[in-house]
Amino acid sequence: MDRRKFLSLGLGLSPLVLAGSVDAAQDPNSSLSRPAQRGFFPNVPLVTQNGEKVRFYDDLIRDKTVLLNFFLVECTDGLCPTAISTMRKVQDLLGERMGKDIFFLSITLQPKKDTPAILKEYSDNFDIKPGWSFLTGKPADVEKLRRALGYVDSDPQRDKDLSNHVGMARYGNDRLERWGGVSLRSSPENIASTFKWLTQV
């Protein structure tokens, strides 16, 4: 899937989706951000590389600023290790903000194979610092996330081929309901700069 298709799906539509108002008095989910209410962040159970059980929205997205992507541990084209390496440099650029008000989330596309132990070994190879979770879970839950977040191809055959995974990441601030997409092939400095407009106001 190319960048244009990615940005046209899921949260790429957030400026339009969020245009409608929500009556907090009538909505039992009013404590959720509007993207969460509309199903962009399914609150599925996941497990981190450290074996910690978490809920996707409640524990990883709610009220946080995040950068998230999907990846393959067994990536044959080199795209994923390059993307993770770039994100690792971004982590350094963000400095003390990492793990405090900015969090990275990397979700495996092969949850049947990638156990927390495998993700732990993978993340250790990149010297990952606190504030970055590598995540796995039940295949159906990971698939639900992938589709909700727009990591899909309109061609069913291409969508089944994991080698077609996109080198893009979602970034945003749940509290401010600001979301966008950025290429992980761009420079670490460019990716880090996307967080400037996600500051709390």
Domains and CATH numbers, the chain: 3-17+34-196 (3.40.30.10)
Cα end-to-end span (Å), the chain: 35
| Nearest residue to 168 via CA among 153, 154, 186 | 186
Banded pLDDT at 15 (limits 50, 70, 90): very low
Nearest-angstrom CA–CA distance, 71 and 126: 14
Q: What angle do CA 176, 104, 126 make, to 5 degrees?
A: 165
What pLDDT sits at residue 174? 94
What are the structure tokens assigned to 108, written together?
């495996």
The pLDDT tens digits of the residues spanning 126-148 come to: 999 999 999 999 999 999 999 99
Q: How far is it, in rounded angstroms, from Cα 105 to Cα 121?
A: 16
The predicted model gives 85-109 an average pLDDT of 95
pLDDT at 4 over 90: no
Confidence (pLDDT) at 41: 96
Q: 20-73 pLDDT, tens per residue? A: 333 333 444 558 999 999 999 999 999 999 999 999 999 999 999 999 999 999
Strand order in the sheet with 132-136: 53-55, 45-48, 132-136, 102-108, 65-71, 168-173, 178-183
**Cβ atoms of residues 184 and 169 within 8 Å:** yes
Q: How confident is the model at residue 11 (pLDDT cuts 50, 70, 90)?
A: low
Amino acid sitting at position 47 = V
The whole-chain average pLDDT of the chain stands at 85
pLDDT beyond 70 at 8: no
